[in-house]
Amino acid sequence: MKRRHFTALPFALLSAGVFDHALAQSDPTAKVLVIGDSISAEYGLRRGSGWIQLLQQRFEKEGRPVRMINAGISGDTTAGGRSRLPALLKLHQPQVVVIELGANDALRGLPLSMTRDNLTAMTKASKAAGAKVLLIGMQVPPNYGPQYTRDFQALFRQVADTEKTALVPFLLKGVADLPDPTLLFQEDRIHPNETAQPTLANNVWPVLLTLLPKR
């Protein structure tokens, strides 16, 4: 009896491992990894009130098996995102990667070529890991100079076109471009307030849907 018991044990453990792997493979939940800065990290907002969580709530309301993973860090740059992305890809194994970075590069006056290279590298790494990519564009105020402002805005489209990825041209459309946007920003005039978060979510929603499995 004892011999039969211990002979069967490795087979039982192997079967359990295969079963667990099969369950993981059959899990219909699509994971969306958002790697971003303070606008993703809910800076100055109530926890759970930011645009990423609003997207999660919308998926749940519609009964769609999607899990939003918020990897936003306040103050992060494209260089920071590039350095931490490999570990995030390995940990979460997402089906979609949303890259919301670049604004802090501009605030620090970093070379646009560096921002472009970092976004390109992150996009390539995400695709190599089997994920689709959604690039989130940003803009800077005109006081940075007209040439810098135009070039910064254009680099997101350039990366998206070159790498054949989806793009939201401007995350703050309908917020920062209003005649009087002050009512939709926090006191620092940089970060959108809670009232603005549904608009941000609505800007991302239709493009993100195109990257997810159809219902």
- Give the side-chain half-sphere CA count within 13 A for 98: 32
Task: Determine whether 151 is an active site residue.
Answer: no
Q: What angle do CA 159, 135, 36 make, to 5 degrees?
A: 120
Q: In which residue are the tokens 């930011």 written?
A: 50
| 36 vs 3: CA distance, rounded Å | 56
Query: H or E segment at 185?
Result: none
Tell me how far CA of residue 115 lies from CA of 104, 144, 154, in angstroms.
10, 16, 12
Task: Determine whether 188 is an active site residue.
Answer: yes
Q: Which one of 40, 76, 126, 191 is the catalytic residue? A: 191
Q: Which one of 37, 38, 76, 126 is the catalytic residue? A: 38
Task: Determine whether 92 is an active site residue.
Answer: no
Greatest alpha-carbon pair distance for the chain in Å reads 83
Name, in order, each residue with C-beta under 8 angstroms of 170's C-beta and a sequence gap of 6 or more: 137, 138, 139, 153, 176, 177, 203
| 139 vs 148: CA distance, rounded Å | 10
Conformation bin of residue 112: beta by default, left when phi > 0, alpha when psi is -120 to 50: alpha
Q: Which one of 5, 26, 180, 188 is the catalytic residue? A: 188
> Which residues are part of the catalytic machinery?
38, 188, 191
